[in-house]
Amino acid sequence: MATLGDIAVSAAFNIVGAFAFLLAFALLRLQPINDRVYFPKWYISGKRSSPMHAGGSFVGKFVNLNFKTYFTFLNWMPQALKMSEAEIIDHAGLDSAVFLRIYLLGLKIFVPMAAVALVVLIPVNVSDGTLYSLNKDLVISNIDKLSISNVRSKSIKFFFHISMQYLFTFWTCYLLYKEYSRVASMRLRFLASQGRRAEQFTVLVRNIPHVSGRSTSDSVESFFRKNHPEHYLCHQAVYNANKFARLVQKRDRLQNWLDYNQLKFERNPEKRPRRKNCFLGLWGEKNDSIDFYKHQIKELDKKLTMERQKVLKDPKAIMPAAFVSFNSRWGAAVCAQTQQSKNPTLWLTKWAPEPRDIYWKNLAIPFVSLTIRRFIISVAVFALIFFYMIPIAFVQSLANLEGLEKVAPFLTPVTELKFIKSFLQGFLPGLALKIFLFALPRALMIMSKVEGYVAKSTLERKAAAKYYYFMLVNVFLGSIIAGTAFQQLRAFLHESATQIPRTIGVSIPMKATFFITYIMVDGWAGIASEILRLKPLVKFHLKNMLIVKTERDRVKAMDPGSVDFPETLPSLQLYFLLGLVYAVVTPILLPFILVFFAFAYFVYRHQVINVYNQEYESAGAFWPHVHRCIIWSLLISQLLLMGLLSTKEALSSTPLIIVLPILTLAFHNYCKNRFEPAFRKYPLEEAMDKDLEDRPSESDVKLKSFLADAYLHPIFRSFEEVESVELRVDKRRAHSPSPSRSSSSSSDDDSHHLEDEPSEEEDEPSQEEAVLPLHYEYEPPSDAYHYVAEVLSNVYEYGTEPYHN
Amino acid sequence: MATLGDIAVSAAFNIVGAFAFLLAFALLRLQPINDRVYFPKWYISGKRSSPMHAGGSFVGKFVNLNFKTYFTFLNWMPQALKMSEAEIIDHAGLDSAVFLRIYLLGLKIFVPMAAVALVVLIPVNVSDGTLYSLNKDLVISNIDKLSISNVRSKSIKFFFHISMQYLFTFWTCYLLYKEYSRVASMRLRFLASQGRRAEQFTVLVRNIPHVSGRSTSDSVESFFRKNHPEHYLCHQAVYNANKFARLVQKRDRLQNWLDYNQLKFERNPEKRPRRKNCFLGLWGEKNDSIDFYKHQIKELDKKLTMERQKVLKDPKAIMPAAFVSFNSRWGAAVCAQTQQSKNPTLWLTKWAPEPRDIYWKNLAIPFVSLTIRRFIISVAVFALIFFYMIPIAFVQSLANLEGLEKVAPFLTPVTELKFIKSFLQGFLPGLALKIFLFALPRALMIMSKVEGYVAKSTLERKAAAKYYYFMLVNVFLGSIIAGTAFQQLRAFLHESATQIPRTIGVSIPMKATFFITYIMVDGWAGIASEILRLKPLVKFHLKNMLIVKTERDRVKAMDPGSVDFPETLPSLQLYFLLGLVYAVVTPILLPFILVFFAFAYFVYRHQVINVYNQEYESAGAFWPHVHRCIIWSLLISQLLLMGLLSTKEALSSTPLIIVLPILTLAFHNYCKNRFEPAFRKYPLEEAMDKDLEDRPSESDVKLKSFLADAYLHPIFRSFEEVESVELRVDKRRAHSPSPSRSSSSSSDDDSHHLEDEPSEEEDEPSQEEAVLPLHYEYEPPSDAYHYVAEVLSNVYEYGTEPYHN
């Protein structure tokens, strides 16, 4: 049991650590050389150009010599707060703005709660003082004296705790309601304010039945012409291009190596780079690297051409799925929300995600296997959640000092030092947990991908949900129970429904110190390291040294990615859970959570404004998930308090508390009915409004050309572009560069190097012929083809609009 | 513990009882005077006219004198089987045909199951014979020797039971799948074969927002004109006519009394009937009855006129709900399945039930209160389920002989008689339960009505579901546990999740005798009394004597009503549960269930063909509910077997059985996805097919007139008709009787007497003026009014078509 002193040491450590990080951040971000690491968003939005090209001395291009700026190293905080919410939505999208609101919600919930709890409950807890008398027998930390454990059994004072639980529940629900309503209206306003976008008109149809002697395209065409005669416009078949995509990826990798070697050669022209030719270049004869990679790429290009032709010509490569577009938002809304076929497992429709949100790989999964996949993954997640705990519990029992001394008795002299003891007790358990949690999100993301969701946003939400379950069982329950009972699941199965909350409830106050250190290590330090961006910093400079040749390579190297929702959302939700559970039990924990929320709010506001560049826009689609998690946290806190009080022989209080979960569930139900449809469905009223607004300016023909290949697999698009570039370069035709070239960088990350490659000049005549059949094959409504040329620029403009203008 | 002998006595009793009933039925149904009680369906469908008017002697009109027919008193059974399923659908509707299929499904499931279980399991159980050795200590019935209890603990023989459970589960699932698929396709075919019906074009819209300065009608009109411009046709406002309906009901009652008194006077002209005028006619001065009722009716008519004008003129009487009709099935299907408004709690749409299926009273419930109502009712149902048990347990402990002797020791000499003892033990517990269950369905129906469902079919389904939960907890669990632990709920809360199935499982084999008697008393005798129709028989003859004056009165008196789904479905499902649970544990129970299913199938086939006249047609909408209940029964049987085996120390079998519930749930999920949408949604493909079929023959104008007042509250329609009759009678205008007059009897049960009343001749001129504004007020699209006259006949024809041609 850690004492208050231990916690103070740990807190000091963490505060010093966080300040060190902040200081490092302040110093690093002021250096022009790091500008692209700490402000990439502004480069991407085009509002900032490289400071290295700006005036000043040569050193000044890399190091900030204006020493005045170093004294104001915390001034990013007020700067981060300057931007209004509307501006953030404009600048970074609604997802980011809504994400920031979660931290704000945390502050709104916990600031008054902490104030009330500290003022009311701490005096109540301290005044009773059972623990003083028990002190001799039990090892009890000082913090326990401030907690509910200190109140005598059967005391009338539990009335305070119960009324506080009521107060906190109502307060939380009130804020949740307000927030849900606000986010829902923000979402609707955001959707309404958007211009013409392909996903507004498009529905993803899956499980298209196979009719012998008829292509999928024909089936789709005739089905929708018949059943949506006034609204159907066109459709885009879905190709299974996974193998092709893998090859393109491989080519990219080889290209990177080639770039690296060419750069090396340029810088050091007297020595041509060489590599061993066997087993990943580890041994064997040495060859010329540049020739080797050029040869490999050429081989691969042949394969690519063949594979592409196979995909486009083989009817088996066309999946029984299609993106069906309508001539009005109303038509698409109708199709997405209704059942199409007599057999409800065929012709399944749902809103198409926006093109850049689609996870193309999963579109190739046959629909029938989805159920089985989901079943298998849910079993796997269950196993993961309940067996991951065993190593954690083992490590934690090590990290427990007594355990450590038993395992490694030779360490005793060291661990007996007071300072090191405090450090270990305060720091180790949290750290151990953190290390275990590191590999997890990737595993969960892979699981979600196997489940077969087709939108990246859904994948991230599902991965986040799995991670939350994991944290709930392993971090929360695991930390509370593991010390007392190893095999929770087994224990719970053999315990009665009333016994379970008691078992957990009674351990809750004892674990407060652990969670306080956890909040500091995971929360505070995590946020501080978030702002420092150490990994991207190193990565950027490495890439800059090794492979960056052109400005576009540099842009790619600085790519900041999106906010990591699958990891941040669950840990956020864990803090909500901790706050709600301990608000009544050990209110001294609340200030630590408050510091986390405030600090994280500043940091993420800064990051969202200056760093992250969202890959897709789901218009806050994750909010229902966040809301549900907080409601669950409330329920858990109520049940655990009930269990805890029943061990305190305050059984008469049970009926008083049992009302709360019922009310909370009723509230949740109400919110679900009231707000959730705004996140799942597109109301016809809204669709009609938008349609009427746009109708004068839109003709069907224009719309058709706009939609024609908005939902083409990006791999085809990039390849096609590559070829047009190749043609241009090779045949010296009088092409004026297409306006979309520079702006299309985000949609064809995979192969944009090709454009600038002198090595690509050896062109094969067979490739040119392959271009034309490609168009004739995949252009779904053949008459739309004529518009493709003029349209492509529209599409790209649309596809990348929020980033690149 | 009842012995095999006790059960034989009980079975003999019940068989004799059932035969007595059958004999009585055979005798009664052959009497011409009872013809309308046992064959009303044929009268209603017009294929049979009163045998009393047929030739023959005077006595022959009332009593069957053809003695040959008495010898073939069971010949209704083959007759009942003669009709094919397609004919039954034609004759009695799909609901009835699907209802019969449940019994057939029971036979299909349990016949092979019983054969296999008896052949395989009984020898296995008998051969071990632990119970022979224990016999001295425990009171064990003979039946237990045939059950799983007889198998030694840890015996390898449990392998037989487990593999049987697997076999039975797969067999049941296979049949369930086939049946679901069959019923779903029957439903789709039935819906596709129906002609033009109002509900195909109509959607019920609720929670229409109130806009100040605008009537609900205007709001509806403008909202749907805007959001469904190509499909919206017209709408019908919903009036809160509950008070008006109550008055009409009261008037009916008075009219009945008047009829009765007038009849009395006619038969006995010298003595005018008189009644006391205070407190329900129990004391006070005596008045002339005929005058009294005539006066009362006149008073009431004034009130009625006022109330009707109030309803039609007061905007507050218009509920924020409407029946919105579309010009195509496609448009209606789209509107029913999509979200209309930005605020998902406004403009809620769902399919309109067919007009005769609507429970008008609940349309007047404000939508906001529905959530609260449902919450309150679910608490009430919970309380009812868990506190109803206390009196049952008490009565059962009385019915238990030892208990009875303790409570009433003076009965000991009587109960010690062997015969009476057997009778009591075999008969009493089942009877006690049955009496308690008698009042319940009405209570549950009232609860469902309070919940506010607007369709009678939904009300019946919900009441049936509640009843099933009740039976599950009280009849099934209650009978198993009550003897050992009074307060189940409390006990379960304090037991672990693994302990609960053990506690129940271990008592299961011991209660087999009880359930066998229950099946005989409730099932066999219940079915026998079902075919005898004692209550309707008495009622019909009483009415015939007292108030029937015209042929139409007689038709009304014979009204057989519908099959009582809320009561028959749950008890059916209970038999499925018993069969599945005991199939492995005590297979000797299966033949009793088989007898029930076979007998019930014959009886209900006879009743559906000859007696019942369904009030509405839901096209088998209750099937998903039936399916779900059988799946739940399977799950329960698996869990209980698991618990039972774990008490037999066959713990190693647990992993073998735990796979089954998971597979069963997966199967259920699959069926739900595959078939349930056919019962909930109307696929666009289907709607479009029907639309295309009908399009040539339908114009919008004709459709509009067809739909104009299909969804008018029947109370207005009947009143309106009354008035036109009054006008005709009173003003001696040259009206030719409308063709709809005689056929509209079922849709205006409440007041059809008025037509033939000479007492109605005192007409008030004010009433005539009230007629016209009535039309102008409620006719929703005012131009549709011109068609009303020609249309009314259509509407009535449509509304009553299945009954009266």
The answer to whether A684 contacts chain B (CB < 8 Å) is yes
* Residue A337 to residue B333, Cβ atoms within 8 A: no
CA distance to partner chain B, nearest, from residue A232 (Å) = 14
Residues of A in contact with B188 (CB under 8 A): 342
pLDDT tens-digit map of A408-445: 667 667 666 777 776 666 666 666 666 766 778 888 88
The answer to whether A5 contacts chain B (CB < 8 Å) is no
User: Of A268-277, A525-534, A779-788, which has the strongest mean pLDDT?
Assistant: A525-534
Residue B358 sits at φ, ψ, to 5 deg, of -75, 135
pLDDT tens-digit map of B571-619: 889 999 999 999 888 888 899 999 999 989 988 888 888 888 888 888 8
Residues of A in contact with B684 (CB under 8 A): 227-228, 338-340
Mean pLDDT for the stretch of residues B630-652: 83
pLDDT of residue B396: 61
pLDDT band, residue A528 (cuts 50/70/90): confident
Residues of A in contact with B672 (CB under 8 A): none
User: Quick one: closest CA in B to A345, which residue?
Assistant: B674
Residue in A230, A338, A688 nearest the CB of B337: A338
| Best to test chain A binding among B191, B220, B223, B343 (most A CBs inside 10 Å) | B343
User: Quick one: closest CA in A to B329, which residue?
Assistant: A227
Residues 6 or more apart whose CB falls under 8 angstroms from that of A597 comprise A103, A106, A107, A110, A575
Whole-number Å distance between alpha carbons of A331 and B517: 61
Proportion of chain A in helix, strand, coil states, percent, rounded to 5: 75, 5, 20
| Best to test chain B binding among A187, A343, A672 (most B CBs inside 10 Å) | A343
* Residue B494 to residue A496, Cβ atoms within 8 A: yes
Least confident segment among A3-12, A531-540, A584-593? A3-12
Residue in B333, B495, B670 nearest the CB of A338: B333
Interface of B with A in 363-402 (CB under 8 A): 371, 375
Whether B187 has a pLDDT exceeding 80, the answer reads: yes
The answer to whether B337 contacts chain A (CB < 8 Å) is yes
Residue in A493, A670, A682 nearest the CB of B498: A493
pLDDT band, residue B176 (cuts 50/70/90): very high
Least confident segment among A39-43, A163-167, B171-175, B562-566? A39-43
Whole-number Å distance between alpha carbons of B649 and B502: 11
Residue in A670, A673, A684 nearest the CB of B338: A684
Residue B496 pairs in a beta bridge with A496
* Residue B338 to residue A340, Cβ atoms within 8 A: no
Residues of B in contact with A341 (CB under 8 A): 683, 685
Q: How far apart are the first and last CA of chain A?
A: 57
% residues pLDDT > 90 (chain A):
8
CA distance to partner chain B, nearest, from residue A148 (Å) = 25
The answer to whether B697 contacts chain A (CB < 8 Å) is no
Return mean pLDDT, chain B: 74
The answer to whether A181 contacts chain B (CB < 8 Å) is no
A vs B: CB pairs below 8 A: 117
Residue in B338, B497, B684 nearest the CB of A227: B684
Is the Cβ–Cβ distance between A152 and A128 less than 8 Å? yes
Whole-number Å distance between alpha carbons of A792 and A781: 16
* Residue B337 to residue A339, Cβ atoms within 8 A: yes
Whether B106 has a pLDDT exceeding 90, the answer reads: yes
Residue in B333, B340, B493 nearest the CB of A496: B493
* Residue B340 to residue A496, Cβ atoms within 8 A: no
CA distance to partner chain B, nearest, from residue A493 (Å) = 5
pLDDT tens-digit map of B420-435: 776 666 666 666 666 6
Mean pLDDT for the stretch of residues A186-197: 84
User: Quick one: closest CA in A to B372, which residue?
Assistant: A666
* Residue A339 to residue B676, Cβ atoms within 8 A: no
Question: Helix (H, G, I), strand (E, B), or coil: what is residue B615?
Answer: coil
* Residue B686 to residue A342, Cβ atoms within 8 A: yes
Whether B345 has a pLDDT exceeding 60, the answer reads: yes
% residues pLDDT > 90 (chain B):
8
pLDDT of residue B172: 94
pLDDT of residue A760: 37
* Residue B227 to residue A685, Cβ atoms within 8 A: yes
* Residue B342 to residue A677, Cβ atoms within 8 A: no
The answer to whether A669 contacts chain B (CB < 8 Å) is yes
Q: Which runs of consecutive H residues, i.e. helices, occur in B194-241?
A: 198-201, 216-227
Interface of B with A in 391-450 (CB under 8 A): none
pLDDT of residue A659: 85
| Best to test chain A binding among B367, B490, B646, B684 (most A CBs inside 10 Å) | B684
Residue in B339, B673, B688 nearest the CB of A677: B339
Mean pLDDT for the stretch of residues B66-93: 74
* Residue B338 to residue A338, Cβ atoms within 8 A: yes
Whole-number Å distance between alpha carbons of A487 and A389: 9
Mean pLDDT for the stretch of residues A602-625: 86
Least confident segment among A44-58, A446-460, A659-673? A44-58
Mean pLDDT for the stretch of residues B233-251: 82
pLDDT tens-digit map of A333-389: 888 888 888 888 888 888 888 888 888 888 877 777 888 888 889 888 888 877 776
The answer to whether B334 contacts chain A (CB < 8 Å) is yes
- Three state DSSP letters for B275-341: EEEECCCCEEEEEEHHHHHHHHHHHHHHHHHHHHHHHHHCHHHEEEEEEEEECCHHHHHHHHHCCCC
Whether A206 has a pLDDT exceeding 90, the answer reads: no
Residues of B in contact with A337 (CB under 8 A): 337-339
Residues 6 or more apart whose CB falls under 8 angstroms from that of A656 comprise A162
* Residue B492 to residue A492, Cβ atoms within 8 A: no
CA distance to partner chain B, nearest, from residue A228 (Å) = 9
Residue in B670, B675, B688 nearest the CB of A227: B688
Residues of A in contact with B345 (CB under 8 A): 673-674
Is the Cβ–Cβ distance between A395 and A436 less than 8 Å? yes
Tell me, what DSSP letter sits at residue B352?
P
pLDDT tens-digit map of B146-170: 777 777 777 777 888 888 899 999 9
ipTM: 0.73
Whether A20 has a pLDDT exceeding 90, the answer reads: no
pLDDT tens-digit map of B15-41: 888 788 877 887 777 777 777 777 777
Buried b (16+ CB within 10 A) or exposed e, A551-560: eebbbbbbbb
Long-range contacts, stretch A482-487, CB < 8 angstroms, 24+ apart: A482/A389, A482/A392, A482/A393, A482/A396, A482/A397, A483/A396, A483/A397, A483/A400, A483/A507, A486/A390, A486/A393
pLDDT of residue A484: 39
% residues pLDDT > 70 (chain A):
70
- CB atoms under 10 Å from CB of B361, counted, come to 15
The answer to whether A666 contacts chain B (CB < 8 Å) is yes
CA distance to partner chain A, nearest, from residue B783 (Å) = 27
The answer to whether B655 contacts chain A (CB < 8 Å) is no
pLDDT tens-digit map of A74-124: 677 777 777 888 888 888 888 889 999 999 999 999 999 999 988 888 888
Residues 6 or more apart whose CB falls under 8 angstroms from that of A199 comprise A351, A352, A353, A354, A355
Nearest to B564 by CA among B475, B455, B461, B447: B461
The answer to whether B222 contacts chain A (CB < 8 Å) is no
* Residue B371 to residue A677, Cβ atoms within 8 A: no
Whether A767 has a pLDDT exceeding 80, the answer reads: no
Block residue for tokens 């209570």:
B443
pLDDT of residue B98: 92
pLDDT of residue B402: 62
Whole-number Å distance between alpha carbons of B84 and B735: 44
% residues pLDDT > 70 (chain B):
70
The answer to whether B270 contacts chain A (CB < 8 Å) is no
**Between B508 and A741, whose confidence is greater?**
B508
Report the largest interatomic distance among the alpha carbons of chain B, rounded to a whole angstrom. 94
Residue in B338, B675, B682 nearest the CB of A333: B338
Region class of A649: left (phi > 0), else alpha (psi between -120 and 50), else beta: left
Residues of A in contact with B677 (CB under 8 A): 339, 344
